[in-house]
Amino acid sequence: MVLECRGGMRHNRPMSEPLSTLAVIGGGAWGTALAQTASRAGRSVCLWAREPEVAEAITTRHENPDFLPGVPLEPAIRATSDLAQALEGAEAVLVVCPAQALRPVLAAAAPHWPSGAPMVLCAKGVELGSGLLMTEVAHEVLPTVAQAVLSGPTFAKEVALGRPTAVTIAAADPALAERLVSALGTRTFRPYAANDPVGAEVGGAVKNVLAIACGVVEGLGLGDNARAALLTRGLAEIIRLGRALGARPETLSGLSGLGDLILTATSAQSRNFSLGFALGEGQSLESLLSGRRTVAEGVPSAKAVVALAERHGIEMPICAAINNLLAGAHDVAGAMEALLSRPLRAETD
């Protein structure tokens, strides 16, 4: 079956005109939920899914049983597994693939990128190997494309069901952030404009690692005090890394930092928290990852975050303990011991 996405003629719009046609690159839970909210906001949406069967299910049955089961989708959402078709005529492109797939996905999209369309980076992670944030990876692949970051406390299913949600949309260009807020905002999906994209992405990437840590503590049954300590000292790690990368502290304590940390690190809905919980209960990482189709971004990002911290001379002991646990250098008891045996010191150090 041929699935077509036709968003209209390819053209550049003046910056002040509303964005009416969007492409969403990624047919996982979050890409699907963002397509749903954009469609409800009145935008014409075409979604690219890597799997043809996902594209077909979205277009013909208005559901995504593989990645967002049980949520009826807006019939107006069109989907395709052909990148060129998805991008044709788009006035902005939401990029929602996993963080480690960003570079190859953007490279494949580059020849078809609609002239003048900005990208909205929605993945939460740091690239393994390079230690680059999503905006930096995207800049290497598509250096002339304007960028924004969409991040915040957002379980995809709740967004897709239309439950109230607030996010940050950050762009160096405030006019771009405002246009995206207008394009995506609804009564229940409430984007806040910001101009600190680096801050918005640091919080989203590091909180996944910290959510694994909170899951481990919960799985071990170490109690509520331990969870509160991890959340607070975890936020200190986000702020330390963010500052070193040029982020503003108020961004890190906003929706995309503290807000997302609270959500992800305290809810069994989180894939990262659940993975940590299972590790704390004694399951092996190998068994948890084998055959898995959904992402737990904290797993690859732990190594990348720790390497980035080392490069900047920053201490991130919770992230380091989780990285050692995931790499097999420590067992759960060893990872806890590494944290509990640290010297006592001033809170603000």
Ligand X SMILES: O=P(O)(O)OC[C@H](O)CO
Q: Which residues pair with 149 in a beta bridge?
A: 121, 170
Listed residue (218, 244, 240, 245) closest to 229, CA to CA: 218
Restricted to residues 41-100, the positions that interact with ligand NAD (CB under 6 A) are 50-51, 67, 96-99
Using CB under 6 A as the binding rule, whether residue 7 contacts ligand NAD is answered as no
Between CA 315 and CA 307 the distance in angstroms is: 11
CA angle 104, 97, 248 (to 5 degrees): 100
Q: Is 238 in contact with 213 (CB distance < 8 Å)?
A: no
- Residue 51's binding partner, choosing from ligand X, ligand NAD, none, with beta-carbon cut-off 5 to 8 A by kind? ligand NAD
Report, in Å, the least distance between residue 342 CB and ligand NAD. 29
List contacts with ligand X (CB under 6 A): 124, 153-155, 208, 211, 260, 263-264, 270-272, 297
Report, in Å, the least distance between residue 190 CB and ligand NAD. 15
Report, in Å, the least distance between residue 3 CB and ligand NAD. 16
CA angle 307, 170, 24 (to 5 degrees): 90
Q: Is 207 a catalytic residue?
A: yes
Helix (H) or strand (E) holding 183: helix 174-184
- Residue 314's binding partner, choosing from ligand NAD, ligand X, none, with beta-carbon cut-off 5 to 8 A by kind? none
Burial 220-234 (b: 16+ CB within 10 A, else e): beeeeebbeebbebb
Nearer to ligand NAD, 106 or 220 (CB): 106
- Other C-beta atoms closer than 10 Å to the C-beta of 93 total 24
Q: Is 28 labelled a binding residue?
A: yes
Q: Is 190 labelled a binding residue?
A: no
Catalytic residue among 40, 78, 207, 303: 207
- Residue 272's binding partner, choosing from ligand X, ligand NAD, none, with beta-carbon cut-off 5 to 8 A by kind? ligand X
Using CB under 6 A as the binding rule, whether residue 102 contacts ligand NAD is answered as no
Read off the tokens for 111. 């020849």
Between CA 222 and CA 209 the distance in angstroms is: 18
Q: Is 303 labelled a binding residue?
A: no
Of positions 77, 86, 122, 321, contacts ligand NAD by CB under 6 A:
122
Tell me, rounded to whole angstroms, the distance of Cα 163 from its chain centroid.
19
Helix (H) or strand (E) holding 106: helix 102-109
CA distances from 314 to 14, 99, 155, 308, 320 (A): 43, 23, 30, 9, 11
Of positions 60, 129, 294, 327, contacts ligand NAD by CB under 6 A:
294
Backbone angles phi, psi at 73, to 5 degrees: -100, 155
Between CA 275 and CA 43 the distance in angstroms is: 35
Of positions 212, 295, 325, 326, contacts ligand NAD by CB under 6 A:
295
Q: Which stretch binds ligand NAD (CB under 6 A): 121-129, 191-199, 317-325, 332-340?
A: 121-129
Nearer to ligand NAD, 107 or 329 (CB): 107
Q: Where do the DSSP E strands lie in 19-68?
A: 21-25, 44-48
- Residue 99's binding partner, choosing from ligand X, ligand NAD, none, with beta-carbon cut-off 5 to 8 A by kind? ligand NAD
DSSP annotation string for 56-80: HIIIIIS-BTTTBTT-PPPTT-EEE
Nearer to ligand NAD, 204 or 219 (CB): 204
Q: Which stretch binds ligand NAD (CB under 6 A): 8-16, 180-188, 236-244, 290-298?
A: 290-298
Between CA 286 and CA 45 the distance in angstroms is: 37
Length of the chain: 349
Report, in Å, the least distance between residue 102 CB and ligand NAD. 9
Restricted to residues 133-192, the positions that interact with ligand NAD (CB under 6 A) are 154-156
**Binding site members:** 26-31, 50, 124, 152, 154, 156, 207, 260, 270-272, 295, 297
Positions annotated as catalytic residues are: 207
Q: Which residues bind ligand NAD (CB under 6 A)?
A: 26-31, 50-51, 67, 96-99, 101, 105, 122-125, 154-156, 294-295, 297
**Binding site members for substrate:** 124, 271-272
**Binding site members for sn-glycerol 3-phosphate:** 124, 152, 154, 207, 260, 270-272
